[in-house]
Structure 1
Amino acid sequence: MTQEQQLSSKDLRPITHRRVVALAFPAFLSGITEPLLSLADVAIVGQLETAGLQGGVALASQIFTFTFWTLGFLRLSTGGYTAQAFGERNEQKLFAVLWRGLIIAAVGGALLWLLAPLFWLGLNGVMGWQAELRPTVQAYLGIRIWAAPAVLFSYVCFGWLIGQQRTGLVLLLQAFINLTNICVSAWLVLALDMGVAGVALGSVIASYAGVGLGGLILLKLGAFNRSGRAGLNGIWQGAAWLRLFSTNTNFFLRSLAFAVAFLVLFKAADWLDQREGLDGLNADTLAVLWQMLGLIIYGMDAFAVAAEAFAGEAVGAKRRDRLRRSTRLVFLWSLISSVIAAVIFATAGSWSLAYITKLPDVLALSRELMPYIYLGGFYMTAPFMFDGIFLGATRASDMRDSVIIGVVVQTGLVVALVPWLGMHGLFLSVAGFMTARGLLLLSRYPALVASVPDRAAADETKASA
């Protein structure tokens, strides 16, 4: 079915269990490729057996990822507005969302070329990178920054495809970029002996290769034909740009609040180490368990993607009944995935820790704290599901508020519990952060539902009149 045929259809496809899983599963696979890519970069450099290179590349990769993670609002806003246009079956609006996103990606990428080095310089002043790592970090980031427009382009593509419920294409594009990155980086480093520059250049080449494949996908979906070009007619509407600016600003503030939440956790772990005179035991344990918690987060986020696509479609189609049904199904499958994750981590979590760390003290403390991990899905179901729903409805201010409230709750719990319970208090604060987010969004969900017209009921009234 072509883009035009799909959008001209008056009937919306039923929201079924199969469709929820079909949207979420590719999103999950796409998400877990990201940490694997960073691991591959570090492993490739590790083959050079040069002291300091692995640590420098790992740090630089984290800095780059963090920088662009804060710019993820471009993916979020594009996905939300695309889903609404898709539900409305408004082809011109659908393509206008795409073109606005691409304009922001181009301008934002150019600004990052100029401003990112200043940001990283300031970050160095705050974090105090080790002197022996600084040359590697600077060399890596100095090359990798040239990928900025391409990375932002991929964010727009991902959001536009998710909004149209095409998560399979998102997986294809993400996997292509990551596999290209690994192959090219390995060739540049191991065959051409380019060292750190080879790893960074491989990432840049892969990002622009992703632009090529993304462009082909957009071409296939009609972005450059008559219908796609018609979207250009509506991209300069002032009201649309103001609404987009407001949405993106709130999403950006939300990202910054998340960054504060992570910083509080890792600073608290460092404080525990200093208080107890330990050589990084608590910080290392947090890093190890965060990798495992990340797998649950990717699972929850996958269902958030499904919720986003269905909720946005329901808002655009003015179908309150579809919004409610998608909420019920996504909640059910999120709980099912939480049970599966709990069983897996409860039975194999402690055993798998031995493959992540060989430090006996870290291993022992991690095993002691494992219950907070395998129960993670249960306290993360609500915040992630509602994130997707509110994202599809582009209720960015509610999402921003939930994270800010969550940070306040988490910080209070850290101050109250960590001195008393140590790392147990730290993970209880994580649960508090997630629970607070979920409760706040739950309290605002009825207003969101009420704001969506019930076209199905209106049609029934007309038919009976």
Structure 2
Amino acid sequence: MKNITLFNHRQLWCIAGPLMIANLSTPLLGLVDSAIMGHLESPAYLGAVALGGMIFNFIFWGLGFLRMGTTGVIAQAYGQQDAFEIKAILVRTLLLALLLASLILLSQPVIIALSLQLIDSTQAIKTLTETYFTVRIWSSPATLVNYVLIGVFIGLQKTKASLAIVVSTNLTNIVLDIFLVVILHQGIAGLALATVLSEYTGMITGLFLLRLVLQKNNSPWPGRTAFSFEKIKYQLIINNNLFIRTLCLIFSFSFFISQSAKYGPVILAANTLLMNFQALMAFVLDGFAHATETLVGKTLGQQNQHLLQQTLNTATLWSFSMAVFFSLLYLLLGEHFIHALTDLMPVRSTAATYLPWVILTPVISVWCYLLDGIFIGASWSHHMRNTMAFSTLFCFLPAWYFSQSLGNHGLWFSLVIFMLARGLTMAWIFKKTPLVAR
């Protein structure tokens, strides 16, 4: 860590700071949703939000390559000062986002029918989940366009623009949650409608900011050259690898929620609350990871190995420090957070029982987030795919299978093993593979 300078710290925080604030508003939204549903008359509302969110995790998180795949290639083009290629990447990814959104809307009857068939829960929770789905699905175009815009802004190190998109989306969502659910008593449908309207608010904000950013880019808009076979092939390979990687990640967390539902509505509600703690930590660490993505991509584009090493050292230092902070925070205040989120006594006591697992996860999972940032910046999508698939198939699932006798403790144990395996396998790849630009 000797080579770290004040400039490195300042540079990392200037990029990570706005992203951290943006990311923090996302779990805050989850906490507000849980608090609103948790104060209704039945745990079924909390369970339905968790299961409905699980369905959209498969849909939207599965298409997260629109953000991740864009950031790395944009950052490398930015490092090479290739303004024309930046616009070409933007055109390709926006068109892909709109195409995928159209396919989602056309497929919605099949998606909900299959999802409800796979969900093992009570009929009351299934009915509420279907209501949530049929409203929220209409946010698809805006959500996917926002992924692209955020990826572009991070790659260009315009993280305040990313902050504006995310914060405008989430603050609008929180206000509409309170208005539609608490004041107008629209229930879970109101919660979903708030999400739809807020996503379009974020998209409008992002497009306006994109116009301002591109005014400084004097290169012409690409015509047919934006669709050269080699460029499209390269981006599709990255997107395909990231899609498989993300599906494995979503499967693991969705499997966790699905197994929680089998233990009953109280365990499901408790695990849902505790996963919000995990999300809070994850989104802060992702701020450093996203900053690492763009800094690694840019330095690779510049072929500046000295600055690259300084970036890696700085990101490692701050990521681990923040992980320790969250473990201590949950150790000291975790039960107070649980009591603030729900007044249902069975859910409170159950969540407190499994809180130690949440205290442990930050220092275990921090390496996943840090190495994800490095790999995305380097466009190492194939390594991300392979390590995630290995961790899911040969670590997470076997750990769950052999710990079923431990009940919900076994479920949390398997999740920790999954995070540990991801960090170790990516660290092994990183150690043996030189970082070079494409």
Code of the residue aligned with 2:276 in structure 1: it is Q
1:244-294 alpha-carbon deviations (Å, 9 max, x no partner):
1111111111111112222443455566x4xxxxx5565444333222222
Query: CA 1:48/1:375 → structure 2, altered by over 3 Å: closer, same or farther?
Result: closer
Q: State whether residues 320 and 449 of structure 1, in contact with CA within 8 Å, keep that contact through their aligned partners in structure 2.
A: no
Of 342-351 and 249-258, more deviation after overlay is shown by 342-351
Which residue, 120, 124, 127 being the options, matches 2:116?
124
Once the two structures are TM-superposed, the CA of residue 442 in structure 1 deviates from its matched residue by: 1.3
Which residue, 401, 408, 412 being the options, matches 2:398?
412
Query: CA 1:380/1:40 → structure 2, altered by over 3 Å: closer, same or farther?
Result: closer
Q: State whether residues 164 and 206 of structure 2, in contact with CA within 8 Å, keep that contact through their aligned partners in structure 1.
A: no
* Residue 445 (structure 1) aligned with residue 430 (structure 2): yes
Partner of 1:341: 326
Query: CA 1:258/1:193 → structure 2, altered by over 3 Å: closer, same or farther?
Result: closer
Query: CA 1:425/1:389 → structure 2, altered by over 3 Å: closer, same or farther?
Result: same
Code of the residue aligned with 1:87 in structure 2: it is G
Query: CA 1:99/1:15 → structure 2, altered by over 3 Å: closer, same or farther?
Result: farther
Distance 1:312 1:63 in 2: 32
Once the two structures are TM-superposed, the CA of residue 349 in structure 1 deviates from its matched residue by: 1.9
Of 155-164 and 279-288, more deviation after overlay is shown by 279-288
Q: State whether residues 300 and 377 of structure 1, in contact with CA within 8 Å, keep that contact through their aligned partners in structure 2.
A: no
Which residue, 184, 198, 204 being the options, matches 1:206?
198
Q: State whether residues 161 and 206 of structure 2, in contact with CA within 8 Å, keep that contact through their aligned partners in structure 1.
A: no
Q: What 5-or-longer segments of structure 2 have no aligned partner?
A: none
* Residue 298 (structure 1) aligned with residue 283 (structure 2): yes
C-alpha root-mean-square deviation of aligned residues, in Å? 3.2
Distance 1:188 1:363 in 2: 26
Partner of 2:251: 260
Query: CA 1:325/1:116 → structure 2, altered by over 3 Å: closer, same or farther?
Result: farther
Once the two structures are TM-superposed, the CA of residue 377 in structure 1 deviates from its matched residue by: 2.0
Once the two structures are TM-superposed, the CA of residue 386 in structure 1 deviates from its matched residue by: 0.6
Code of the residue aligned with 1:157 in structure 2: it is L
Residue pairs, 1:72-91, within 5 angstroms: 72-91=64-83
Once the two structures are TM-superposed, the CA of residue 145 in structure 1 deviates from its matched residue by: 2.4
Which residue, 232, 239, 246 being the options, matches 1:241?
232
1:210-241 alpha-carbon deviations (Å, 9 max, x no partner):
222111111101169752x4344531111111
Secondary structure at 2:63's aligned position in 1?
A: coil
Distance 2:404 2:40 in 1: 41
1:164-204 alpha-carbon deviations (Å, 9 max, x no partner):
12222211111112223344565566777766655444433
Once the two structures are TM-superposed, the CA of residue 355 in structure 1 deviates from its matched residue by: 2.3
Which of 1 and 2 has higher RCO (CA within 8 Å, sep 6+)? 2
Distance 1:158 1:60 in 2: 24
Which residue, 17, 25, 30 being the options, matches 2:22?
30
Q: What 5-or-longer segments of structure 1 have no aligned partner?
A: 1-12, 274-278, 454-465
Q: State whether residues 75 and 155 of structure 2, in contact with CA within 8 Å, keep that contact through their aligned partners in structure 1.
A: yes
Secondary structure at 2:403's aligned position in 1?
A: helix
Secondary structure at 1:230's aligned position in 2?
A: coil
Once the two structures are TM-superposed, the CA of residue 22 in structure 1 deviates from its matched residue by: 2.5
Fraction of identical pairs, as percent: 28
Partner of 1:399: 384
Q: How many residues align?
A: 433
Distance 1:291 1:372 in 2: 13
Distance 1:197 1:263 in 2: 22
Query: CA 1:201/1:369 → structure 2, altered by over 3 Å: closer, same or farther?
Result: closer
Which residue, 134, 142, 145 being the options, matches 1:142?
134
Q: State whether residues 45 and 54 of structure 1, in contact with CA within 8 Å, keep that contact through their aligned partners in structure 2.
A: yes
Query: CA 1:414/1:357 → structure 2, altered by over 3 Å: closer, same or farther?
Result: same
Q: State whether residues 165 and 203 of structure 2, in contact with CA within 8 Å, keep that contact through their aligned partners in structure 1.
A: no
* Residue 105 (structure 1) aligned with residue 105 (structure 2): no
Query: CA 1:433/1:237 → structure 2, altered by over 3 Å: closer, same or farther?
Result: same
Partner of 1:10: none
Q: State whether residues 22 and 163 of structure 2, in contact with CA within 8 Å, keep that contact through their aligned partners in structure 1.
A: yes
Query: CA 1:368/1:131 → structure 2, altered by over 3 Å: closer, same or farther?
Result: closer
Code of the residue aligned with 1:442 in structure 2: it is A
